[in-house]
Structure formats: structure tokens, C-alpha cells
Chain A
Amino acid sequence: MEEKPIKPEYGQLTKSCRIFAGLNLFLILAIFVLVFSHLIGLNLPKYYPLLHQWSVSPLQEVSMGFFSAVGFSILTALPLSILFYLVSPHKQKYLEIRFKTFKNLSTLAIIFGILYFAVKEWKEWGIEKMGPKSESFFSAEFWLFIAVLVLFLILLKILLILEKKIFE
């Protein structure tokens, strides 16, 4: 029986493929943890600049949660990516690792992450705190989401055009 040629990227994982996948996985996981912890309001330690102290339990002062959010994202994503790098050669029969998949996933994760924070923060500070409040379906929030969706598609398109143009 004639053997079908197998694309190299489906065969034995090369070291560069594993490193590439590991680095991109780090990026995807870090963004995911940053977004998810923000979305669920994960109770991470906060810095209280007026009190000069860190605390997990809320205190009656101005607090800063950004340091912990970033640190937590990196500290979660880094060991998981290293673990993936170490385990992937042994588990590759269960995985179909392709350069392209990781490249595209990380691009999508970046655009999603950016637009998530744009919507979330603008909704909170630009619309809820400043108004205008509207009960109608075509409210400021509706137009914000439409604008962000269009922006998402434009950004994705630019990246795809750029990618195609470079190596044609």
C-alpha cells in the first residue's frame, strides 16, 4: 500500500516546535489568567499605598490590585508552559501540535484580551460612572460592543494581510 506523506509538523516534534509552542502557550495562558481573574474578581493581595502594606482582606483605603494581577498571571503561566514543554514529547500521540495553530491562537488571545479590557473598563468608567444611562436596546453599551467588534475584525484582518504580504 502506498504510504501517504506526512507533513513534518505532524511527525516527531522538533525542539524548536516545542519551544515555539511553549512560548506561545505562555502568552495565551498569561492573557487568559489576566482576563479570567479580572472577570471573576479573584481575591488577590492588594497594595494599600497610604498604609504602605499588602493585604488580601479588604481595608478601608485606596488599593491597587494591578501588581498582583500581572504577577499572578506570569507565575501561573510560566510553570504550566515549562511543564508543557517537558511533557509534550511523551504525550504527542494525543496532541496534534502545529506551529500555525499556536501562532493563530496567540494572535486571537492578544486581540481578545485587549478588547476585553477596552470594553470592561470603558463600560465601567466611561458609561456607568459618566452616563449616559439608557434603557433602550440601542444604548451606549450596545454601540460600544459594536465598535469593539468592528475593531476586532479590522485588527485581525490587518494582521492576516501583514502575515500574507511578508512571505508572498
Chain B
Amino acid sequence: MPPLFLENYASIFKSLHGGIGILSLIALGFGVYLIIKQRKIDWNAGLKASLVGIISYLLSFILGLLIYPVFRIKVRAEYFDPKLPWLTGLFEIKEYVGAIGLFIALVLLGYYLFFKIEQSEKPIKQSFINLLFVLFLITLFKAIIGIILGFYKSI
């Protein structure tokens, strides 16, 4: 049988996917903290950390897509679907929630591109922080599910 798409590189990509995902989680968490901390909003450092988090999220998502064919066959079809379908359920939720995270990340990049966020109108700032916070929660959720899935079986 011919190898699956990028099968030979799957373990490298999987490590990068996880590593960059964790970087994204840390940077987004730090960004949210800097922006919402009560005494004084640190927009400058907060926006930089958030941008690192958003770009890392996009990279991690793309790497996830690249390893998906191998995961679909070697892990999901051979192990999760027949033996542990609830893990397939968790994986599917992770994927679709991740797709919503992708849309949010693209919109946040649009904010960086079109606005000077720290000088924008209040609703733009509020929306930015809302979306950033949700993206952080999504990344956290994905990290937890990823660890649970990896605990049972990995590529």
C-alpha cells in the first residue's frame, strides 16, 4: 500500500503541531492577562503577545490539517472509531471548535491589519478582547483534548 499523504513526516509535524499549539496557548493567555488586568491596560505588550498567539494558532491549525490524513487512518479509523467512539466524538468537537477558532483568528488578524487597536473606538476594543478571550479558551480546550487523545493513542 502506498504511504498516506505526508505519512513519513507525520511524527515531526505532530510534534510541531503540539509545540506551536502550546506556544499559542501561552502567548494568548499572556496577551489576555496584559490586556484585561485591572490596574492599567498594557496594550503595547498585550497586542504583541496576542499577535504571536494568533499567528501560532494559525500555524498549529495548518500543521493539524497536514497530519489529519494519517491520524484519520492510523488512529481514528483503526482504533478510536471501533473501540473508543467517545474519543472520536471528542476529536470531532475539537476539530470543529478549532475551525471556529480559525475564523476568529482571521478576524483578529483583520483587526491588526485595519485598525490601530489601542486607539480605536470602544466597541472595537471590546470586540477584540472578547474574541481574543474566546480564542484563548478554544486553544485551552484544544490543548486539553489533544493531551487526552494522545494519552490513548498517537500517530
Contact = CB atoms under 8 A, between A and B. Distances in A.
A130 B106 CA distance: 36
Contacts of B130: 103, 107, 159, 162-163
Q: How large is the interface on A (under 10, 10 to 19, 20 to 34, 35 or more residues)?
A: 35 or more
A66 B100 contact: no
A70 B1 CA distance: 29
A49 B69 contact: yes
A56 B92 CA distance: 21
Given A47-B69, A122-B93, A69 B126 contact: no
B85 A31 contact: no
Q: How large is the interface on B (under 10, 10 to 19, 20 to 34, 35 or more residues)?
A: 35 or more
Contacts of B123: 20, 99-100, 103
Given A16-B120, A125-B85, A159-B134, A24 B107 contact: yes
Contacts, number: 139
Prevailing SS type, chain A contact patch: helix
A19 B69 CA distance: 37
B104 A110 contact: yes
Contact of A64 (B72, B103, B122): B72
Interface of A: 16, 19-20, 23-24, 26-27, 30-31, 34, 38, 47, 49-50, 52, 62, 64, 66-67, 69-70, 73-74, 77, 99-100, 102-103, 106-107, 110, 113-114, 117-118, 121-122, 124-126, 129-130, 159, 162-163, 165-167
8 contacts: A34-B99, A49-B73, A50-B73, A62-B72, A67-B65, A110-B100, A118-B93, A129-B85
Given A103-B123, A166-B126, 17 more contacts: A23-B110, A24-B107, A27-B103, A34-B100, A49-B72, A52-B2, A62-B73, A64-B68, A64-B72, A73-B103, A103-B130, A106-B131, A110-B134, A117-B96, A117-B97, A122-B89, A159-B130
